[in-house]
Amino acid sequence: MAELKNVEVRVGDAHDWPFVEDLGKRSVASSRGRDAPDALLRVGYERLLDLVATQSHVLLVAEERERAVGFLILLDALPDEVSLQPQGFIAYMAVEPEFSGRGVGGALLAAAEDEARRRGLPYISLMVTEENEPARGLYERRGYRTERRLLCKRL
pLDDT tens for each residue of 125-153: 999 988 888 899 999 999 999 998 888 88
pLDDT at 5 over 80: no
* CATH, domain range 7-141: 3.40.630.30
What per-residue confidence (pLDDT) applies to 43? 92
Average pLDDT over residues 36-48: 89
Residue 20: pLDDT band by 50, 70, 90 thresholds? very high
pLDDT at 100 over 70: yes
- Domain-by-domain residue ranges, the chain? 7-141
With a threshold of 0.95, does the pTM exceed it? Answer: no
Between CA 8 and CA 104 the distance in angstroms is 9
Question: Alpha carbon of 144 to those of 61, 91, 123: distances in Å?
Answer: 21, 15, 10
What per-residue confidence (pLDDT) applies to 4? 67
Q: What angle do CA 83, 51, 104 make, to 5 degrees?
A: 85
**Got the DSSP string for the chain?**
-PPPSSEEEEE--GGGHHHHHHHHHHHGGGG--S---HHHHHHHHHHHHHHHHTS-EEEEEEEETTEEEEEEEEESS---TTT----EEEEEEEE-GGGTTTTHHHHHHHHHHHHHHHTT-S-EEE---TT-HHHHHHHHHTT------------
Residue 33: pLDDT band by 50, 70, 90 thresholds? low
What per-residue confidence (pLDDT) applies to 129? 86
